[in-house]
Amino acid sequence: MISAVQTDPIVAVSTPSGMGGIAVVRLSGKGADRVIGKCWKGVSLDGIASHSAHLGKVLLEDGSVLDEVVLTFFKGPRSFTGEDVFEISCHGSRWIQRELVNLLVRHGARAAAPGEFTQRAFMNGRMDLAQAEGVIDLISASSKASHRMAMRQANGRFTVYLDNLRDRLIEFASLLELELDFSEEEVEFADRKRLRDLADELLGVLRRLAASYSTGKSLKDGVPVVIAGAPNAGKSTLLNQLLEEEKAIVSDVPGTTRDIIEDTCEVNGILFRFIDTAGLRDTADIVERIGIERAEDRLSRASIILWLLDTTGDTDNQLKEILNRVGELPDASHLLVCNKVDLANNCESEKYSPAEAGQGESLCGAAAESLFGKETAHLFDACMSISASEGYGIDELKGIMTSLACKEYNPDTDIILTNGRHYAAILRGAEALSRARAALDTGLSADFIAQDVRETLHHLATLTGTISTPDLLASIFSRFCIGK
C-alpha cells in the first residue's frame, strides 16, 4: 500500500505497452525538475513556464544522446497529480522507453506503482474517488456510450449529483436535529409530513440510481442479446449478419450449433454482446443437451431476446414454444423476429412479408395483432420481419435493439451507475433511509431516525472518498495499470 504522504518523484511509461510512433514517459513529484535536469539538454528548467512544451535531448551518463524528445511541463497544483509533472514524449521504441525510465530511476526517481499517478491526484484533491474510478473506466471504454458515461464520471458530474443529494439529506437531518434540540419540551418541531415527503423523494432518487446499475453494467460490458428459436430458424445466420462476419457455422442440419457462440460489436454507439444458442428442442444427444442447458442459462441473464420464427416452418408450434418461455423471463425485452421473408413465394412465409403487413419492415401494431392475435403481439416489445441471409430488415432490428438498451436510462443525459462499489454503497444508503422513512410512520423518536439518516450520509460519503480506508484505496488504485 502506498502511503498517503508520499511526494517523491515517480516515473513510468504512460502510453500502452508495445511500439508506436511516440511514447510518453511521465515524471511527477517533488524534485522532478532535479531528476530530469540531470539528463536534459535544452532550454533551462529554472523558472520554466507551466503548460509549456520544449524540444530537446535526453543524454545518457556518458554524454551520448538517448533520444530527441519533447518535454512538456505542468506546474503543480495545475497538473494531473497536483504536483510538478514532466511528460517526456520520446520515440516509440520499447528499448528507448525502458532506457529512459531506467535513466530517470538512476537519477533519483522511483518506478511508479499501478495507479499511483491517479492516487496522488486523489490525495492532492485534484479529483475525488468516483472521478478516479471514472478515469479507470475511461481508459477501458469500448463504445461511445461507455465512453460518455465514464467521461461524465471523470469530469465530476456524478460528484455534483451526489453533492446535491447530500445537501438534501443534510437538510433532512437538520430538521430532525432541530426536533432533537427541543425534545425536552416534547415539541415536534419538524413537520412530519414535510419530512416524510422529503424522505420519499430522496429514497426515490437513490432507488432509481441503484436500478440504473444493471443498465450501466450492460452498457459497459456489452448489452447481452440472446438469439433463440427452433433449430434451423436462422440464428447463426443472424449472428453473422449482426457481427458482419462469419462467426458461426451455418448449415441446413438441425443441431449444428451445439454450444454458445458469442461476440461483441458496437451498434449505433452501444456495445452489444450477441449470443447464438443451440436450438431449443428435446434431444437425446448429450453434447447438444449440455448446449441447450447453457442456452437456458444465457436466456435467464439476457437483456434482450430475439425470438426467431422460421416463417417457412411450422409457425404455430414454434410460436407456442416461444410463448411458453417468454412468460418465464420477465426481466428481458422480447422481440419476435420472423425470419426468411425473402421466401415470400412460399405460402407460409408470405403473410409475414412486410408488403403483406403494410407496415414497412416492422410488423408492429395492427399488422402484428392481426397475425398473432392482440394478446400475443402485446407480449413482445416489437414484432418484425427480416431475412437474415439477405440482410433485409437488419438495420431496423439494430435500431429497435438500440432503443430497448436505453429505454429506461439514456447514457447521454442520465446519471447511470457502472461500478459495483457505487451500487453497493447506494443500496446500503437506500436501506438506511428506508428505515428512517418507516420510523417516521411508526412515530419513533427523532434521535433514532437521525441515526439512520447519518448512516445514509456515511454511505454517500464513501462514494466520493470523503470517507475512505487505506484498504479501499489500495483495492481501487491497484486496478489501474502502471503509468496511470
Contacting positions for ligand GDP (CB under 6 A)? 231-237, 250-252, 256-257, 279, 339-340, 342-343, 387-390
State which residue, 115 or 234, has the beta carbon closest to ligand GDP: 234
Report, in Å, the least distance between residue 200 CB and ligand GDP. 49
Contact status, residue 259 vs residue 278, Cβ threshold 8 Å: yes
Alpha carbon distances (Å) from 6 to 78, 81, 117 = 18, 12, 11
β-strand pairing of 333-339 with 304-310: parallel
Cis peptide before 77 (omega within 30 of 0): yes
State which residue, 363 or 446, has the beta carbon closest to ligand GDP: 363
How many angstroms separate the CA atoms of 340 and 308, rounded?
Answer: 10
State which residue, 121 or 230, has the beta carbon closest to ligand GDP: 230
State which residue, 136 or 243, has the beta carbon closest to ligand GDP: 243
How many angstroms separate the CA atoms of 42 and 297, rounded?
Answer: 63
Nearest CA to 69 out of 111, 100, 30, 34 is that of 100
In the block, cell 471514472 appears at: 134
State which residue, 141 or 335, has the beta carbon closest to ligand GDP: 335
Nearest CA to 81 out of 43, 112, 40 is that of 112
Task: Give the residue closest to ligand GDP by C-beta.
Answer: 234
State which residue, 49 or 347, has the beta carbon closest to ligand GDP: 347
Report, in Å, the least distance between residue 260 CB and ligand GDP. 12
Report, in Å, the least distance between residue 384 CB and ligand GDP. 13
Report, in Å, the least distance between residue 337 CB and ligand GDP. 10
Q: How many other C-beta atoms can be found within 10 angstroms of the C-beta atom of residue 396?
A: 17
* Largest CA-CA distance found in the chain, in angstroms, rounded: 87
Angle, vertex CA 465, rays to CA 462 and CA 470, nearest 5: 95
State which residue, 257 or 318, has the beta carbon closest to ligand GDP: 257
Q: 55 exposed, middle or buried (CB, 10 Å; 0-12, 13-18, 19+)?
A: exposed
Nearest CA to 432 out of 462, 415, 400, 455 is that of 455
Report, in Å, the least distance between residue 247 CB and ligand GDP. 11
Q: Given CA atoms 89, 95, 101, 106 in this order, what sign does their dihedral have?
A: negative
State which residue, 89 or 236, has the beta carbon closest to ligand GDP: 236
Report, in Å, the least distance between residue 285 CB and ligand GDP. 14
Report, in Å, the least distance between residue 226 CB and ligand GDP. 13
Report, in Å, the least distance between residue 392 CB and ligand GDP. 7
How many angstroms separate the CA atoms of 313 and 403, rounded?
Answer: 30
How many angstroms separate the CA atoms of 441 and 362, rounded?
Answer: 50
Report, in Å, the least distance between residue 276 CB and ligand GDP. 7
State which residue, 158 or 307, has the beta carbon closest to ligand GDP: 307
How many angstroms separate the CA atoms of 396 and 218, rounded?
Answer: 21
Residue 45 one-letter amino acid: L
Helices H, strands E: what count in the chain?
18, 13
